[in-house]
């Protein structure tokens, strides 16, 4: 009996050592940035912490600009972004004698949404630019109702704003009286409750209360996004520094794993691999 009891204790001790060697212990990972990537990172973090209870992952939004700035200043471990790092940010990280590591984790589409009662179903990229620059101000100019267009955009800290500004506005000025909101969720909610509204969000924020417009006849879908046929397709990124911890890299590797990419799809985005 004593021999069997000792064997069981030894076996339990060996199992504990194996679990601990595979499990990141008492690691904290701080992430912040893009609200577009937020659903992915939150869901992945919850799953990861369930698998590895010794890890604590903090997930905050703030916009891509905040995420990239924070990772450059090394106040967080992962900066989430819906755009690439720009030239000014690259210069800043060089001055700190560091290097940013870019990892694409998903594919997304900047999705044009309107109030669900809007009869318009398609818009050209040109007319979209005219709406956001203030050249078109009423839906009746596009064959819709006699209703003023309420233009809703993201604020300047948003990666979505930067991508949209380049791809749609072609660096033209956004109309002065447009609403500039801090998150995808704020845009989706405001469009839902505002007749005449138009806005843009990531794929993960589209729901049955919103109407999605096709652009030049192309609706954002798995196929049109995967082959980049949809004109506002973009990748979503995680940025770290070259001095990132092993726990940070483990979490990124998890998001790129089969389970992680399944989470990407469950959140309404397109897997990167």
Give the integer Cα–Cα distance in Å for 5 and 158. Answer: 61
**Model confidence at 151, in pLDDT bands (50, 70, 90)?**
very high
Q: What's the average model confidence in pLDDT over 133-152? A: 98
Whole-prediction pTM value? 0.87
Report the distance separating Cα 10 and Cα 21, nearest Å. Answer: 16
Q: Which helix (H) or strand (E) holds 238?
A: strand 233-241
Residues 28/255, Cβ–Cβ less than 8 Å: no
pLDDT in tens, 19-71: 444 444 458 999 999 999 999 999 999 999 999 999 999 999 999 999 999 99
The long-range contacts involving 183-187, CB below 8 angstroms and separated by at least 24 positions, are 183/35, 183/61, 183/154, 184/35, 184/36, 184/38, 184/154, 184/160, 185/35, 187/113, 187/152, 187/154
Fold annotation for 111-231:
D-Maltodextrin-Binding Protein; domain 2 (3.40.190)
71-113 pLDDT, tens per residue?
A: 999 999 999 999 999 999 999 998 988 899 999 999 999 999 9
What's 273's DSSP letter? -
Q: What is the CB-side half-sphere exposure of residue 34 using CA atoms within 13 A?
A: 31
pLDDT in tens, 230-247: 999 999 999 999 888 899
Residue 3 confidence (pLDDT) above 50: no
Distance CA(244)–CA(224), nearest Å, equals 35
Name all contacts of 262-268 with Cβ < 8 Å and 24+ positions apart: 263/40, 263/43, 263/44, 263/47, 264/40, 264/105, 264/106, 266/43, 267/39, 267/40, 267/43, 267/204, 268/39, 268/202, 268/203, 268/204, 268/205, 268/206
Q: Token match 């845009």: residue?
A: 187
Average pLDDT taken over every residue of the chain: 91
Eight-state DSSP code of residue 265: H
Domain with CATH 3.40.190.10 in the chain: 28-107+235-271, 111-231
Strand bridging mode 150-154 / 111-115: unpaired
Could you give phi then psi for residue 20, rounded to 5 degrees?
A: -65, -35
Residue 132, pLDDT above cutoff 70 = yes
C-alpha span between 175 and 170 (Å, rounded): 13
b/e code 170-197 from CB counts within 10 Å (16+ = b): eeeebbeebbbbebbebbbbebbeeebb
Correct CATH for 28-107+235-271 of 1.10.3720.10, 3.40.720.10, 3.40.190.10, 1.20.120.610 = 3.40.190.10
Supply the pLDDT for residue 7: 52
Helix (H, G, I), strand (E, B) or coil at 217: coil
3-state secondary structure of 163: helix
């Amino acid at each position: 009996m004593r021999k069997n009891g000792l064997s069981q204790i030894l076996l339990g001790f060996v199992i504990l050592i194996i679990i601990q060697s595979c499990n990141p212990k008492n690691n904290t990972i701080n992430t912040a940035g893009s609200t577009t990537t937020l659903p992915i990172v939150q869901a992945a973090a919850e799953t990861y912490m369930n698998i590895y209870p010794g890890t604590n992952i903090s997930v905050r939004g703030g916009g891509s600009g905040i995420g990239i700035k924070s990772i450059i200043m090394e106040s967080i471990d992962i900066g989430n972004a819906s755009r690439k790092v720009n030239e000014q940010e690259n210069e800043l990280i060089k001055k700190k004698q560091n290097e940013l590591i870019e990892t694409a984790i998903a594919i997304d589409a900047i999705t044009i949404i309107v109030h669900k009662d809007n009869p318009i179903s398609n818009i050209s990229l040109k007319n979209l630019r005219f709406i956001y620059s203030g050249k078109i101000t009423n839906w009746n100019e596009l064959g819709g109702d006699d209703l003023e267009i309420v233009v809703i955009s993201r604020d300047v800290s948003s990666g979505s704003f930067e991508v949209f500004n380049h791809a749609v506005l072609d660096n033209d000025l956004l109309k002065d009286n447009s609403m500039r909101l801090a998150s995808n969720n704020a845009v989706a909610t405001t469009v839902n409750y505002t007749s005449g509204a138009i806005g843009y969000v990531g794929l993960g924020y589209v729901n049955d209360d919103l109407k999605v417009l096709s652009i030049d006849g192309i609706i954002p879908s798995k196929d049109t996004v995967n082959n980049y046929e949809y004109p506002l397709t973009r990748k979503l990124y995680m940025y770290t520094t070259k001095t990132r911890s092993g726990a940070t890299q483990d979490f990124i590797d998890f998001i790129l794993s089969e389970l992680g990419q399944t989470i990407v799809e469950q959140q309404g985005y397109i897997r990167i691999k």
